[in-house]
Amino acid sequence: MVLDRLLTWLLARADIGARLLVILGAAMMVVVVSAQVVMRYVFNGSFDWADEVSRIAFVWTIFLAIPLGIRDGSHVGIELLVERFPAGLRRLIARLMSALAAVMMAVVFWTSVVVALATWSERLGAINLTSSVFFFPVILGALHSALHLAHLALFPTESRA
């Protein structure tokens, strides 16, 4: 199917970008927090911006990693009841839950856009950035997650269902 191939292609590229940004964010956290520790305990000083930069890197890393967990099926699930159902019903429930979660991620995406626009003029204290910078990864992660979940709901395979 054309839509399946298009979504697969698009998600593969988005996954590569998300993975690179997650690696970059984690590396940035390690470098900034390590530098801050050295500054405090060795030089008895600190960087004013280190807390905000490490917090931004943490938020970006977490929210951009969520769709990668959805893709791999590594998020926590409770299967106590569902595993007792016949295989056909389990697949139907998996598709319905993926569709419902995709709708929820679309709501998170839209709400995050609205809040980011509303907080655009607010500035962070130590660095001259909009406070909306905390909502950008939520927007990207929710959209990316919604696409993965919609793909799972529309085109389930044995390895993904």
What are the residue boundaries of the structural domains of the chain, listed by start? 2-154
Q: Which amino acid appears at position 59 of this protein?
A: V
> How many helices and strands (H and E) does the chain possess?
4, 0
Residue 123 backbone dihedrals phi, psi, to 5 degrees? -115, 150
Residue among 56, 161, 153 nearest 101 (CA): 153
Per DSSP, helices labelled H in 2-86 are 2-42, 50-72
pLDDT digits (tens, 9 = 90+) for 105-119: 999 999 999 999 999
CA 68/CA 54 separation, integer angstroms: 21
pLDDT digits (tens, 9 = 90+) for 8-31: 999 999 999 999 999 999 999 999
Q: How confident is the model at residue 159 (pLDDT cuts 50, 70, 90)?
A: very low
Q: How confident is the model at residue 140 (pLDDT cuts 50, 70, 90)?
A: very high
pLDDT digits (tens, 9 = 90+) for 59-95: 999 999 999 999 887 777 777 787 888 988 988 988 9
pTM, rounded to two decimals = 0.85
